Amino acid sequence: MRKSAFVCLLWSIALPAQDDATGLASTLIITQADKLKDVPRSQYAERQSHWPLSSEHGLSLGDSHFRVNISGAALKIALQAGAVPRKSVRTGRCYKLRYQFGGGRQRTMNIGFTRELDNTWSWYCADTRTVSLANQTIRLVDANADGRFTIHQDGYLVPGARAICPLNDTLILGATEVRIQTLADNGSHLRVSERRIPGTKPQLSALRILNQLRSTNGLPGVLLSVDLSEGCTIYARRLKANEWADAANPSLKSDRIPGHAKQRLAGETNTMVMHATNEVAIQSYWRTWFHRRHLMDPGMTEIGINAAPADISVIDAQHGKPQESDWSWPICVPTDGAIDIPLNARSELPNEPVKNLSARGFPIMAMFHQALSDDIDFEGSLVAVINGRARKVRTIIGDSDKHPRLFGIVPETPLLRDTDYIATLQWRTGTAITKRVIHFRSQQ
């Protein structure tokens, strides 16, 4: 199937010259139609991007219904509404279906299919619109497969990602704030304004790393807070002046640091301190268990990062209050569809979810919206997919006594490089049993 494309055009609206580097620059962007070969996945309740498929129900697009036939591991679909399923499907391939939308209007949509190890099938919308935002090639995805591109109902993919982020009025991409003003129903054009987030080079470098980690796991980016960052800088300079040697966590044992005032940072419960650069600190905390919970919170809207000194990092994560209905809790990292997952964990001594955490693989974590009851029964498993076969990976259940919102598993040994994994997390509260299946790929 040939890829259809719009003529790609970029038109800048004439604006007065601005000396302020953070000023808004309005643009009108005509995007390119594209097909999505990777399986898009999401953890947002209202934006589920793939749906289970059965012969009894088939699939529906707009006002049209398409029949399917599943026989063992084989799937056949009908390319026209109501027709007999005759087209044999290959996983990962895109198929163009023509359907009726809104009172008889005709539209086409690229649909993809994926088969799980248990031979069950699911389908997803494979229509995207490629657009350049914040010096990145972003793909808009019709996540709810209704044939339209809509703010607050659809999503976007950052470069290299398979997990969909929510498409909102304001997007934080790296170190740029992008505000969407208009979006065409068919995705043919997008009007936005962009503002570069102010900060020092080390601060913005760390912010880009954090926002990349969040976006590839389906979480929206965060802003750099001026007030929080100022507090972090004061705190870091105080540690430097008192020759803090990283022998103890100052946020927990501040009275043991000579010259350190008794008062603490306003966000101390969310503050992370490390003897390292900001970039190294962000990447290290992402490989932990207790500290990562701050960075993976979907309600976090801004973060504080110290500007100096260069060898001490103080990070203050402030969280908002996301509406429970907007998220498919628990929030999992890695998320379903995540790629480039680190191979190993990082120690959090003296408090660790399992013994010898630094010798283990990257923790697979689930953070719940609120603490669960004491009688929760949690279990998990992990398999590596090698040459099309599932190989069981030995794991350890993480200790959640001190953080009743956190559950998950830790591989006994580091993950294999450039390998697909499938984690299954299951928990029971009372008589209700819930399961979350997570597909992810390790670093190359």
What are the strands, taking DSSP E only, across 298-397? 300-305, 313-319, 331-333, 338-341, 364-367, 377-386, 389-393, 395-397
Side-chain-side CA neighbours of residue 361 (13 Å):
27
How far is the C-alpha of 214 from the C-alpha of 380, rounded, in Å?
Answer: 23
The predicted structure's pLDDT at residue 24: 56
> Roughly how many angstroms between the first and final C-alpha of the chain, as a whole number?
31
How far is the C-alpha of 55 from the C-alpha of 72, rounded, in Å?
Answer: 11
Give me the residues of the chain with pLDDT under 50, please: 1-22, 252-264, 266-267
Extract the tokens encoding 163: 């997990």
Omega of the bond prior to 334 within 30 degrees of 0, cis? Answer: yes
Extract the tokens encoding 246: 């990283």
Q: Which of these, 175, 181, 164, 189, lies nearest to 135 by C-alpha position? A: 175
Q: Other CB atoms closer than 10 Å to residue 176's CB: what's the count?
A: 20
Extract the tokens encoding 97: 């279906």
Extract the tokens encoding 252: 């927990």
Which amino acid does the sequence have at 302?
A: E
- Going edge to edge, which strands form the sheet with 432-442? 338-341, 432-442, 420-429, 377-386, 389-393
How far is the C-alpha of 316 from the C-alpha of 230, rounded, in Å?
Answer: 10
The predicted structure's pLDDT at residue 311: 94
Whole-prediction pTM? 0.87
How far is the C-alpha of 311 from the C-alpha of 177, rounded, in Å?
Answer: 28
Contacts of 397 (CB under 8 A, 6+ apart): 378, 379, 380, 408, 409
| Percent helix, percent strand, percent coil in the chain, to nearest 5 | 15, 40, 50
Which amino acid does the sequence have at 394?
A: R
Cβ–Cβ < 8 Å for 24, 195: yes
Domains of the chain and CATH, by start: 1-196 (no CATH), 200-327 (3.40.33.10), 329-444 (2.60.40.1220)
DSSP letter (8 states) at residue 229: H
The predicted structure's pLDDT at residue 344: 97
The predicted structure's pLDDT at residue 174: 96
How far is the C-alpha of 305 from the C-alpha of 294, rounded, in Å?
Answer: 14
**In the chain, how long is the greatest CA-to-CA distance?**
79
Collapsing DSSP states into helix, strand and coil, what is residue 49? Answer: coil
The residue whose two tokens read 């097909």 is: 35
How far is the C-alpha of 149 from the C-alpha of 169, rounded, in Å?
Answer: 13
The predicted structure's pLDDT at residue 13: 29
Q: Which of these, 424, 419, 343, 342, lies nearest to 388 by C-alpha position? A: 419
Collapsing DSSP states into helix, strand and coil, what is residue 365? Answer: strand
Q: Which of these, 388, 376, 353, 404, lies nearest to 73 by C-alpha position? A: 388
